């Protein structure tokens, strides 16, 4: 029995690698992967995002931004279908209602609102109102140093 369990442990060690490290919380630390599965989905999403932004910026005459919104709608559908993760910085640039790219003055108006009676800085909210009428509110007053999980230096870029 002891021989079998010893073999098992040695197999486990070989799987985890000789240079594996374990931190104080009992987490096995692994180096980042060299390749990513389903990279083509991400490249497709990136292309659609840039295409949508291009059509919003260049086609200033088109007030409805139909083509741009169609590309963004496609992006949203593919992202959901393939369960691809997007950073908050990317998601914040897409209107959830009409799928417009959020670009100041072209599609969105931004201002800081303070609805408290005493106008304390804690109650400041950044309001982004899209052309369709929907608005996103970011209450930044309470924690001015707030960073999203991606911005906290734990994102490793694979390629540029």
Q: Are 103 and 54 in contact (CB under 8 A)?
A: no
**Shortest CB 104 distance to other proteins, Å:** 5
**Taking CB under 8 A as the rule, does residue 73 contact other proteins?**
no
130 membership: H or E segment, kind and range: strand 124-130
Nearer to other proteins, 77 or 112 (CB): 112
Neighbours of 69 (CB within 10 A): 20
- Touching other proteins, residues 82-101 (CB under 8 A): 84-87, 89-90, 92-93
**Environment class of residue 139 by beta-carbon count within 10 Å: exposed (0-12), middle (13-18) or buried (19+)?**
middle
**Size of the residue set binding other proteins (CB under 8 A):** 65
Binding mask 103-142 for other proteins (x = CB under 8 A): xxxx---xxx--------x----x-----------x-x--
**Residues 109 and 67 sit within 8 Å (Cβ to Cβ):** no
CA pair distance 73, 79, nearest whole angstrom? 10
Q: Pick the closer one to other proteins by CB: 63 or 111.
A: 111
Q: Under DSSP, is residue 136 helix (H, G, I), strand (E, B) or coil? A: strand
The residues that touch other proteins, with contacts defined as CB under 8 A, are 1, 5, 8-9, 12-13, 16, 22, 25-30, 32-33, 36-39, 42-43, 45-47, 49-50, 53-54, 57-58, 84-87, 89-90, 92-93, 103-106, 110-112, 121, 126, 138, 140, 144-151, 154-160
């Amino acid at each position: 029995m002891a021989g079998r369990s010893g073999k098992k442990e040695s197999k486990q060690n070989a799987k985890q690698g000789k240079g594996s490290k374990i931190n104080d919380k009992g987490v096995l630390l692994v180096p980042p992967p060299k390749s990513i599965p389903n990279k083509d989905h991400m490249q497709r999403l990136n292309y659609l995002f840039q295409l949508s932004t291009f059509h919003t910026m260049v086609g200033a005459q088109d007030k409805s931004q139909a083509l741009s919104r169609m590309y963004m709608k496609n992006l949203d559908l593919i992202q959901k279908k393939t369960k691809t993760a997007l950073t908050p910085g990317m998601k914040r640039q897409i209107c959830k209602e009409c799928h417009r790219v959020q670009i100041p003055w072209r599609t969105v108006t931004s201002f800081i609102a303070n609805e408290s009676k005493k106008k304390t800085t804690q109650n400041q909210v950044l309001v982004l109102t899209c052309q369709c009428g929907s608005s996103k509110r970011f209450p930044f007053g309470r924690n001015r140093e707030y960073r999203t999980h991606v911005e906290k230096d734990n994102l490793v870029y694979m390629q540029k």
